[in-house]
Structure 1
Amino acid sequence: MPKGEKYSYLRNKHLIKRCLSYFGPYKTKIFIAFISMGIVAAATAATAYLIQPAMDDIFINKDREALKLVPIAFVVVMLVKGVFRFLQTYLMNSTGLLVLERLRNDLFNKIICLPMDFFEESQVGMLMSRILNDVIQIRASLPSFIMMIREACTIICLIGLVFYRDPYLATFAVLVLPLAIYPFFYFGRKLRKLGRKNQSKISDINALLQESFSGVKVIKAFANEKRETDKFEGENNRLVTIAIKEVLNSELSSRIMEVVGAFGIGLVLWYGGSQVIEGHSTPGTFFSFIAALVMLYEPIKKMNTSNIAIQRALAGAERVFEILDSPEINVEKGGDIELENEFKKLEIKNLTFSYTSSEYPVLNDINLDVEAGQKVAIVGPSGSGKTTLVNLIPRFYDCQQGEIILNGRHVNEYTLKSLRLNIGMVSQDTFLFNASVRDNISYVSVDYDSDNVRECAETAFAHEFISKLPEGYDTIVGERGVRLSGGQKQRLTIARALFKNPPLLILDEATSALDTEAERIVQMALENLMKDRTSIVIAHRLSTVLSADVIVVMEKGRIVSKGTHKELLKKCPLYIKLYNMQFQDND
């Protein structure tokens, strides 16, 4: 076997094995479906068998006893076939839906626990497509696989019947069967390749839709609706082109197999008809044989249809198990120690960090200590690494060199849940869920006290505007809080941080995107939030951090100076420059 074909065979074997592993918990249902499948196959052969006594005994010999028994037998056979066909189809489809549920759950659980750098390299629409579209394809794998086995059993039963009726004539009929195998595999490979392209293109369209609808305000601001429409039409056209090729190959496969079957039936009609004319066979035997033969080619066509569905399922499985089984895509892992709800000290030592997509370190040899109760401010030009630095503390990313020590232990030793629950973050990029105000504030816990929610809202200066909303705390804020102003959204995120009640607080330019009036109110809310907590504040406006215990000045991924406001005005040229620029602007 050539190397490429051998790899493809092993790959297919692995994918089929992985798909079938999800059906393991439902083996009782599948076993009953298999039994039903065997009965359906036998009933199909019995239907063809009954044609001979119907023709010979009823229509030719005019046997009145046969007139009573054969119709009853036919009804019983069809009833049995219908009951067990229903049972098989119902069990397999319901099992497929349960597997669909498990697969989606596993895939979502894996993706949601992946590190942040995975999400930075992946489009949201593509991930949505993996969970929604690709998994649906896998659902069809076992029902189609079972159908192939059922049709194979039917073929065996019918071949047995035709050889029982006339072995010599049956030889003519099955001579053409090998010709039907070639299109089965040839078109199967092509459809697998097209199915893979189709799933990939659906991912691209999902990503484009998600990006377009999320950025619709920008699209309208630049009057670029036509450009986005053209982009979508181009992607949609490519998807349709692939789908048309799938239809073409699918139909070619079916029609070729029909033609092959027609050759077999033609040979039988010629030879069998001559046998009946010469008196070597009865019309009943011949028509029973023909019925079995016609039924024989029908399951072959159905096997071809099932093969198409399985190829699509394998194309979807490749993309799903690429995430579930890939050794390169690993979920975040924490330590075993629970971080106590008390902040003692944070030490950052010789820390160096690079993003996977960047050539040079974003942070270089960072050293910083934060004592309990301190307010530490971090300032510097855009791109100096301020946000990256604070994102390493809750382990959104892991540094390549150096260490971050919290309360005397490396942050890697703590469980991720306890580490992150003890750190509160409020940034300029506010995010609210499409849920009620109450649910957004109490997001950290499903069991909460409504009085505590209101208290946090009052402390964040949010209660007043919440009370004026149509349904108060039960008002749905819309996707990303679209129904609220920037200041209102920010106050809700502050209330959310208050409800979480973390000992260490990180504020990432929390007021930079607000107007003066909103900034004033939010700043008061932030003061309430920082009260009696250790806080690290990334500041765009120096006026908000002049009273900080320590101000850290960063530039190009390095700490260039540390000290109080007065100390930095004496010794740090960059800080003096930033200070003069801002306060001259204010003047």
Structure 2
Amino acid sequence: MNKIVRLWGYFKEYKAAIFWSIFASLLVSVSNGASAYIVKPALDEIFIKKDASKLYIIVGLIVGIYLLKGVGRFFQNYLMSITSQKVIKKLRDELYEKIIDLPVTFFNESSTGMLMSRITYDVGLIQSSVPAFISMIREAFSIIGLAFVVLYQDWQLGLIALIVLPIFVTPIVKLGKKIKKYSKKSQETIGDISSMLKETITGIKVIKSFTNEEKEKERFKKNNLTFLSQQIKATFYNELGSPIMELLGSFIIASVVIYGGIQVIEGKSTPGTFFSFLAAIALMYDPFKRINSSNSTIQAAIGASERVFEIIDQYEVQKCPEGNLICEARGKDISFENVYFKYNQSDSYVLKGISFVINPGETVALVGPSGSGKTTIANLLPRFYDVSEGAIKIGGIDIRDFTLRSLRGNIAMVSQDIFLFNDSIIYNICYGSDEIDMERVVEAARAAYAHDFIMDMPDGYNTRIGEMGVRLSGGQKQRIAIARAIYKNPPILILDEATSALDTEAEKTVQAALDNLMMGKTSLVIAHRLSTIKNADKIVVMNNGSIESIGTHKELLDISPLYNKLYSVQFGM
């Protein structure tokens, strides 16, 4: 019930449309009752008494009744359709906003497929909930209207029939619980399938290089079979309602025919009264069937809403807290003060007692073996994660006191894993900026040594580069990313092994572009190749989450055994 109330919160601003939709459904219900009632005068006056004067009147009434029903049904369905579309847009917007505001830790623990499933498949199921609910109201009104006809025609038999009718409700409730259960399970499985599909598409080269297509096919078939099994169970309980309704309905109608037939034979009732009564009872059957169908839809929507609200509620718990100061990092130093960090409370520390200062305009490099904590330090500065102990300060102010927008607005990142959007080169270079300055775009591209290859592309700067920049080489992707950072022009740069995945020729070009980017900036560089950071103002040597030593390249060759080892391995000394 709480989920239904919460869902209603999204619909209540459209209560005027919902009110008129309910009013239209009431017209449909009245027309259903009238169509059952008019059977009596049609039979008695036209076919029994052969009263020609009533023929055209009754025919006109029949046309009017069905016209009223058609108009009512149109407005009910139209109003609810556009209302549900607006609500789903609002819910999908809200869900996307919540997802994009969640901290990086949430995405580390959640699969992409699951998130995609919730914002598409689950929200789509919710869309049908209120139209189904209004349909239930319409059918309830229809049952009430037909009940009046039944009682009016023969109140004794009508009372017996209406006492028996609640039996129809029991299977609806019981089957609804089963449908909700299996619908929710199938929604979870479709998330797993979506996640697997994304992995397959993005990792297709790995799959093919290991000739693992057959195993991936089997893995997909296994997940798909699970989904099929859950859908079959949900369908079974959904469709089971129909034969149960048919059986119960047949008993009621058979009883009515026996009793009503005796009444007509004995002259206690007219054929018109009997068939009007029978029509009303028969017409009651369809509303119960449709209520059962609507209940199935609502139960599936409730299951989907639980999964959607789970994400929205995560937001309330996990959204990264922030201060209200505006960060102005230009000309300010950056200090790491006794920083400790672990990803979860139950984990051990991955950073321990990290302390060093980056002066304005300095280039400080982080080196060390894989897993020593270099990238973790880089991720703490823009607050992708927060320190567990200690503090990181810019100009003496804890970065947690700044707004996230202003802090991250002062930082640009270029890593070895470049992410580019499936859009134009202009869009990717200007990403995050409020306006496009074409002159600055070209200047940034020239400084990144990207202008020439861009102009060689079919549409120049308007060329779409494909998903993840698939139409570009590794070096070209890096240069677009560097141009993006140059266009942003922030005071702080974070370069995370930006040339480690490139060949020697591409590395030279990208390194030249990086030199242009770093000019006059405060830079934190994570280096895999020591040749790229020999001229850094300061080098921090990391080992097992701690700082082993700090100094220039020459100083570290004298004081750091680990740096000496790394240098010897790379340069064969």
- Tell me whether 1:369 sits opposite 2:357 in the alignment: yes
Q: Is the 8 A contact 1:163 1:170 kept in 2?
A: yes
Determine the C-alpha separation between the residues in 1 that align with 2:40 and 2:527: 92
Q: What does residue 565 of structure 1 align with?
A: 553
More deviation in 180-189 or 514-523?
180-189
Q: What does residue 261 of structure 1 align with?
A: 249
* SS of residue paired to 2:495: strand
Compute the displacement of 1:341 (Å): 5.3
- Tell me whether 1:430 sits opposite 2:418 in the alignment: yes
Q: Is the 8 A contact 2:102 2:315 kept in 1?
A: no
| One-letter amino acid matched to 2:96 | F
Q: What does residue 113 of structure 1 align with?
A: 101
Q: What does residue 470 of structure 1 align with?
A: 458
Q: Is the 8 A contact 1:426 1:507 kept in 2?
A: yes
* SS of residue paired to 2:412: strand
Q: Which one of 391, 395, 414 corresponds to residue 407 of structure 1? A: 395
* SS of residue paired to 1:351: strand
- Tell me whether 1:67 sits opposite 2:55 in the alignment: yes
Determine the C-alpha separation between the residues in 1 that align with 2:153 and 2:432: 74
Q: Is the 8 A contact 2:449 2:513 kept in 1?
A: yes
Taking every aligned residue pair, what percent have the same amino acid on both sides? 51
Q: What does residue 308 of structure 2 align with?
A: 320
Compute the displacement of 1:326 (Å): 4.0
Determine the C-alpha separation between the residues in 2 that align with 1:332 and 1:141: 33
Determine the C-alpha separation between the residues in 1 that align with 2:316 and 2:432: 31
Deviations 1:82-127 (A, max 9, x none): 1011000110011111111011000000000100010010011110
Q: Is the 8 A contact 1:173 1:267 kept in 2?
A: no
Q: What does residue 10 of structure 1 align with?
A: none
Kindly report which structure 2 residues correspond to 1:11-90, keeping only aligned pairs within 5 A, or say none.
13-90=1-78
Q: What does residue 140 of structure 2 align with?
A: 152
Q: Is the 8 A contact 1:172 1:264 kept in 2?
A: no
Normalising by structure 1, we get a TM-score of 0.96
* SS of residue paired to 2:528: coil
- Tell me whether 1:182 sits opposite 2:182 in the alignment: no
Determine the C-alpha separation between the residues in 2 that align with 1:357 and 1:101: 37
Determine the C-alpha separation between the residues in 2 that align with 1:544 and 1:527: 10
Q: What does residue 433 of structure 2 align with?
A: 445
- Tell me whether 1:575 sits opposite 2:559 in the alignment: no
Q: What does residue 526 of structure 1 align with?
A: 514
More deviation in 130-139 or 331-340?
331-340
* SS of residue paired to 2:349: coil
- Tell me whether 1:395 sits opposite 2:383 in the alignment: yes
Compute the displacement of 1:171 (Å): 2.8
Q: What does residue 198 of structure 1 align with?
A: 186
- Tell me whether 1:302 sits opposite 2:294 in the alignment: no
Q: Is the 8 A contact 1:494 1:525 kept in 2?
A: yes
Determine the C-alpha separation between the residues in 2 that align with 1:571 and 1:298: 87
Q: Is the 8 A contact 1:125 1:210 kept in 2?
A: yes
Determine the C-alpha separation between the residues in 1 that align with 2:344 and 2:488: 32
Q: Please list every run of 5 or more consecutive structure 1 residues that lacks an aligned counterpart in the other structure.
A: 1-12
| One-letter amino acid matched to 1:253 | G
Compute the displacement of 1:357 (Å): 8.4
Deviations 1:523-564 (A, max 9, x none): 110111111111111111111111111110000000010011
Determine the C-alpha separation between the residues in 1 that align with 2:151 and 2:313: 48
Deviations 1:455-513 (A, max 9, x none): 00000111111111111111111111111110010011000000000101111111000
Compute the displacement of 1:356 (Å): 2.3
Determine the C-alpha separation between the residues in 2 that align with 1:114 and 1:108: 10
Determine the C-alpha separation between the residues in 2 that align with 1:308 and 1:329: 32
Compute the displacement of 1:329 (Å): 4.1
Deviations 1:227-261 (A, max 9, x none): 11111111111111111111111111121011111
Determine the C-alpha separation between the residues in 1 that align with 2:76 and 2:378: 57
Q: What does residue 4 of structure 1 align with?
A: none
Equivalent residue pairs, number: 573
Q: Please list every run of 5 or more consecutive structure 2 residues that lacks an aligned counterpart in the other structure.
A: none
* SS of residue paired to 1:391: helix
Q: Is the 8 A contact 1:43 1:80 kept in 2?
A: yes
Deviations 1:25-61 (A, max 9, x none): 2111111101111111111100111100000001111
Q: Which one of 452, 457, 465 corresponds to residue 445 of structure 2? A: 457
* SS of residue paired to 1:507: strand
Kindly report which structure 2 residues correspond to 1:539-554, keeping only aligned pairs within 5 A, or say none.
539-554=527-542
Q: Which one of 325, 328, 331 corresponds to residue 340 of structure 1? A: 328
- Tell me whether 1:486 sits opposite 2:474 in the alignment: yes
Determine the C-alpha separation between the residues in 1 that align with 2:529 and 2:289: 72
CA shift in 2, pair 1:341/1:360, >3 Å: closer
